[in-house]
Amino acid sequence: MRYHTLRRRPKHFLSFTGLAVEEFDRLAALIHSDWIFQRIQRLARTHRKRKIGGGRKYALPDPEDQLLLTLVWLRLYPSYLFLEYLFGVDESTVCRTVRSIPLLLQKRFVFQDPRKQKGRKKITTWEEFKKALPPDLDLDDILVDGTEQTIPRPEKKRKRTRYHSGKKKRFTVKTQIATTRNGYILHVSRASPGRRHDYRIFKESILPKLVPKNTRLYGDSGYQGIQRDFPALHSVIPYKRVKNHQELTRSEKIQNTKQRKISVTVEHTLSRLKKYRVLADIYRHSLQNYDATFRFIANVANFRMIQRAQAV
């Protein structure tokens, strides 16, 4: 299977990749220069023994075919062996492709934490944060929530304790996302062990320092304590009935209903991300590549939202 043959069937193309043919073409054009730069860096490494251009040629020389293979893997989450037969390449080529292509969208549509990057200025103000994001975004409200994904049982016993989720009753990794009210993903946290609480992930992220005073921050009941620890934030979380406490008042129940009607948008965004089976099924691969995979899908989702907004 190749790009020039699959594009003749738009319905199949959309089902396999999650993008229309026109959207795929724009995305491929967007990352083309970065793909060339990545290839030059790989060929110009100092420890190579052959001259540049020597050695075996790429089995998938075109960036469109490499991007197609990566999206099919993310969307359907088949084994590398299945993709080897589907695309007519070696299994090692599939592995190398799905690890290199997601790196091309790392700095595009989702804000990255500058503390995790070398050689970049640290962002400390809301104005700098907005400049790092695409223009014309409505940032009146920010919605935050976490999601868990099941992983295989760790072999080492010390890892089993860290990754065991008391809520899911299995081994998981957690990721927190922050979105706007229309579903645009602003921030994706680093993956954390399943035992770590959602509120702890929030406190350890850069979001509490970036959200301005006049912006409402919506979270679910798992973020209890945010009003105490961050009084400067305009946080809106549902009222929670604690043990040995009276029932919620009618006004508190009405407020919870209003809050959940707004914060449900972040749940819809997570459902859009999990249409890519790599984030919905048991994650079978190394967790070292999990952050890049999650961020790549978030960037693709934002890219598709921007393209559809411009088409209206």
Pairing label, strands 192-193, 164-165: unpaired
pLDDT surpassing 60 at residue 166: yes
Give me the pLDDT at residue 127, please. Answer: 66
Question: Which three-class secondary structure state does DSSP give residue 139?
Answer: coil
pLDDT surpassing 90 at residue 247: no
DSSP 3-state percent helix, strand, coil across the chain (nearest 5): 50, 10, 40
Give me the pLDDT at residue 212, please. Answer: 77
Give me the pLDDT at residue 38, please. Answer: 81
Average pLDDT in the 61-75 region?
94
Q: Report percent pLDDT > 90 for the chain.
A: 50
Name the DSSP class of 111. Answer: B
Mean residue pLDDT of the chain comes to 86
Predicted TM-score of the model (pTM): 0.88
Amino acid at 107: K
Domains and CATH numbers, the chain: 3-105 (no CATH), 114-273 (3.30.420)
Confidence of residue 121 (pLDDT cuts 50, 70, 90): low
Average pLDDT in the 6-14 region?
95
Measured distance between the N- and C-terminal CA atoms of the chain, rounded to whole angstroms: 33
**8 A C-beta contact, residue 265 and residue 143:** yes
* CA-CA-CA-CA torsion sign (81, 83, 86, 91): negative
Give me the pLDDT at residue 37, please. Answer: 82
Q: d(Cα 83, Cα 68) in Å, to the nearest integer?
A: 11
Beta bridge partners of residue 218, listed in sequence order: 143, 236
Give me the pLDDT at residue 246, please. Answer: 78
pLDDT surpassing 80 at residue 52: no
Give me the pLDDT at residue 207, please. Answer: 84
pLDDT surpassing 80 at residue 128: no
Give me the pLDDT at residue 205, please. Answer: 87
pLDDT digits (tens, 9 = 90+) for 185-234: 988 999 999 999 999 999 988 888 888 778 899 998 889 889 889 988 88
Confidence of residue 131 (pLDDT cuts 50, 70, 90): low
Q: Report percent pLDDT > 70 for the chain.
A: 85
Confidence of residue 18 (pLDDT cuts 50, 70, 90): very high
Tell me which range, 35-49, 116-130, 266-280, is most confidently predicted by mean pLDDT: 266-280
Give me the pLDDT at residue 312, please. Answer: 63
Confidence of residue 254 (pLDDT cuts 50, 70, 90): very high
* CA-CA-CA-CA torsion sign (122, 128, 131, 133): positive
Give me the pLDDT at residue 137, please. Answer: 66
Give me the pLDDT at residue 84, please. Answer: 94
Give me the pLDDT at residue 76, please. Answer: 95
pLDDT surpassing 90 at residue 114: no
Average pLDDT in the 123-151 region?
75
* CA-CA-CA-CA torsion sign (94, 95, 100, 102): positive
Give me the pLDDT at residue 134, please. Answer: 63
